[in-house]
Amino acid sequence: MIFVILAMMLNLVTLTIAAPKEKLMVYTSMKEHLIGQLRDGFLTKYPGVQFDYYSAGAGKLMAKIATERQAGKIAADVIWTSEIPDFYQMKAEGILEKYVSPEASKIVSPVKDKDGYFTPARLGTLGIAYNTNKIKNPPTKWEDLLGREFEGGFGIANPALSGTAMVSVTMIVENLGWDYIEKLRANGAKMGQGSGQVVDDTAMGDLKACIAVDYITISKIEKGATLGFAYTSQMLVIPSPLAIFKNTPNLGTAKKFVDFMLSKEGQTIIANSLTLPIRQDVPIVKNVGLVTPEEAVKRAMPIDYEQLIINKPAIIDKFTAIMTK
């Protein structure tokens, strides 16, 4: 009897050692603190997963993926960035896995893939950051930025360097026309560097105001920067899609991660990072200038992302020509 028990225990130990651990690799352009908090939340729910991530700019990620595809295998299971055109491109190239999460029915977003190859997991917004020592009347509409108070001191990040700036410029052009960009320049508007840099320049007083990412600006305000943050009536809303790569060996775990990201628990972590969740039942951080997801979607400027893939070089060239003349 003792030998039987010992044999059973040995078999149990052997099975435990041999049992493969679930794995997950996420490529993301999100900041380390956000993906780190999401990882911790996911591992609390699924402690048996070996979770790794690689955080870099979207352009660098796409270059990495291209290199890996040439080598015959994409190392990531999931990708999460704010570069929506990249997701349409990857879908067209057939490298994404179709997956519609049970949580997807609860999201609100101006962008949804009807075929289910990617799903928004965050509503990134851009508003106007302004130096409170220089601007006393925060803008409420785009025409306000053409006024004397903003003369010679309004900045927009370089769309060749910043993906969010690229989409923002395209939204403005599609909804307000190139004439508006010309008028901005005539009022002394400037093209800056990256999205974070123009906010820093505004805080320092080198600019009076700029188009600014929500969480970048609000986090600086909370740290004491002389900045304010305001939305115009027509908003710049850029969802951050999430997708699973086709032929991943960790499909089940990847689906669990997508479900977690879209769940109330995952969206609460995202909302607490000073940006907008994609669920109506997750509260936003109050008293920092944010609006609800429903309000953001209602006020969002429309944009044709698939057309943007084609027009991107021409838009960058024309914007640069206007802003440097």
Note whether 214 and 244 are same-domain residues: no
Between CA 317 and CA 160 the distance in angstroms is 9
Same domain, 91 and 128: no
- The whole-number pLDDT of residue 2 equals 53
Claim to verify: residue 230 and residue 245 sit in the same structural domain: no
Per-residue pLDDT tens digits for 238-295: 999 999 999 999 999 999 999 999 999 999 999 999 999 999 999 999 999 999 999 9
d(CA 234, CA 88): 25
Whether 205 and 279 map to the same domain: the answer is: no
Q: Name, in order, each residue with C-beta under 8 angstroms of 206's C-beta and a sequence gap of 6 or more.
A: none
Low-confidence winner among 9-18, 39-48, 138-147 (lowest mean pLDDT): 9-18
Indicate whether 276 and 307 sit together in one domain: no
Q: Are residues 202 and 314 in the same domain?
A: yes
What local confidence, expressed as pLDDT, does residue 5 receive? 45
* pLDDT, tens only, 54-66: 998 888 999 999 9
Average pLDDT, the chain: 93
Instruction: Find the Cα–Cα–Cα–Cα dihedral 25, 29, 35, 38, rounded to 10°.
Output: -80
Phi, psi angles (nearest 5°) of residue 274: 75, 35
Structurally, the chain folds into a number of domains equal to: 2
With a cut of 50, say whether residue 15 has pLDDT above it.
Answer: no
Residue range 121-142: average pLDDT?
A: 97
Kindly state the tokens that stand for 111. 């962008």
**Would you state the pLDDT for residue 7?**
46
Q: Residue 222: give the domain boundaries.
A: 124-236+301-323
pLDDT of res. 21: 80
Q: Counting every residue, how long is the chain?
A: 325
The model's confidence at residue 20, banded by pLDDT at 50, 70 and 90, is: low
* Residue 111: CATH number of its domain: 3.40.190.10
